[in-house]
Amino acid sequence: MAKRDYYEILGISKDADEKEIKASFRKLAKQYHPDLNPDNKEAEAKFKEVNEAYEVLSDPDKKAKYDQFGHAAFDQNSGFGGGAGFNDFGDIFGDIFGDFFGGGFSGARTQRTGPKAGSDLKIKLDIDFEEAAFGTKKEIKINRIEKCHVCDGSGAKTGTSKKTCPTCNGSGNIRTVQRTPFGQFASTKTCTTCGGTGEVVEEPCTTCSGTGKEKKSRKLSINIPAGVDTGSVIPLRGEGNHGERGGPPGDLYVYLNVRPHEIFERDGNDVWCEIPISFTRAALGGSIQVPTIEGKVKYEVPEGTQTGTVFRLKNKGIKNLRGAGKGDQYVRVKIEVPKKLTDKQKSLLHEFASEMGETIDKEDKKGFFGKMKDAFKD
């Protein structure tokens, strides 16, 4: 049967660029991949056909030869290919053609697929402001992949065991031979029947359906150090998904999110808060109680303190996560104006205003902009 045109196989035109060739190949390779089409001989044939077309059209030199001579460019009997066999080129061109054809030569040593590390897991954990500042201990719940507790990860039913793969005879690899312009070359690929393990399960475990894995819910205790903040990540080594074929487990990464506080705000290791004080306290000064993350402390407000004044409480901030020392606390003052006054309080304020040389006129309703207009009317 005559070979189909490579451009027709990939569904592209002859002037398709490298990006179009690759995109078409990926789409078709996924569509006909043996793992997605088990026991489908037609899909397997198309998968090989797509791979062969891409192998030629993705290589500029091979593509140029194909455009000029067609399939004859890669037929050693057509006069274009070399007459040398694999044994003549194995030592000289081994590395080069190993890259071209995706595997080693027939003389190369092949191995079964070895241990595979488990994948990592990530979770988000919300904590309170105080827990971030002082550290805490939390219990978290995760779902992870572990080896089946019934078959101990083998995938085989209790009382049975895995058998040697009949496709690759236990090697984990399949040897294929290809004809090229340089002669005949052999390459090895991972066996699609056993996935490179060299073994197959004839009677699968009823608990894990032969996968050797099961999902488990676990509770873990985690120590959160003082000084963490939103965005801090705590790694738990070996607490991720379990590995395959004796591979090590992955890790678990806990991403922290600190809930906002009702009073305090954080800036690095420093803490900020705003406290209201009365007009008289601001004017006369005196002692006030200031809230900190460690409790209330006494602070002497100087007389004449203005709204927006910031004072500092040294070492009353958050512990440095990666070193010694602590941040500071900054307190911003906000002067409160009473909304309701008794007649006596009003009288005293009028007397105070008079002492300050200030006239309080209830009838003056022009306001600031009205007064400005009067001032510049001439």
| Model confidence pLDDT, tens digit, residues 217-257 | 999 999 999 999 999 999 999 999 998 877 889 999 999 99
Cα distances from 260 to residues 73, 128, 270, in angstroms, run: 70, 8, 15
> For the stretch 1-22, what's the b/e string if a residue is b when 16 or more beta carbons lie within 10 angstroms of its beta carbon?
eeeeebbebbebeeebeeeebe
- Contact present, 227 and 269 (Cβ < 8 Å): yes
Average pLDDT over residues 285-309: 93
Considering only 35-39, 135-139, 151-155, 227-231, which range has the smallest mean pLDDT? Answer: 35-39
pLDDT tens digits for range 182-222: 556 677 788 888 878 888 888 889 888 888 889 999 999 99
Residue 168 assigned as binding residue = yes
pLDDT, averaged across the chain: 82
Q: Which long-range contacts (CB under 8 A, 24 or more apart) does 287-292 make?
A: 290/331, 291/263, 292/316, 292/329
Residue from 207, 191, 193, 218 nearest 153 by CA: 207
pLDDT of residue 76: 55
pLDDT of residue 1: 58
Residue 148 assigned as binding residue = yes
Q: Where are the domains of the chain?
A: 6-112, 121-162+201-258, 261-337, 341-378
CATH topology classification for 6-112: Helix Hairpins (1.10.287)
pLDDT of residue 97: 39
Fill in the DSSP letter of residue 208.
Answer: T
| Residue 319 in this model has a pLDDT that exceeds 60 | yes
Distance between CA atoms of residues 187 and 114, nearest Å: 20
Distance between CA atoms of residues 270 and 115, nearest Å: 48
Q: Helix, strand, coil shares of the chain as percentages rounded to 5? A: 25, 30, 45
| Residue 7 in this model has a pLDDT that exceeds 50 | yes
Q: Do 121-162+201-258 and 261-337 come out as alike in CATH topology?
A: yes
Model's pTM, two decimal places? 0.59
**Residue 332 — pLDDT band, cuts 50, 70, 90?**
very high
| Residue 82 in this model has a pLDDT that exceeds 70 | no
Question: Is the backbone of residue 46 left (phi > 0), alpha (psi -120 to 50) or beta?
Answer: alpha
- H/E element, 319: none
Average pLDDT over residues 80-101: 37
Torsion of CA 79, 84, 90, 91, to 10 degrees: -110
Residue 273 assigned as binding residue = no
Considering only 55-64, 86-95, 119-128, 344-353, which range has the smallest mean pLDDT? Answer: 86-95
CATH of region 121-162+201-258: 2.60.260.20
Residues 261-337, CATH architecture: Sandwich (2.60)
* Residue reference for tokens 């080069």: 96
Distance between CA atoms of residues 32 and 49, nearest Å: 10
Q: What count of residues does the chain have? A: 378
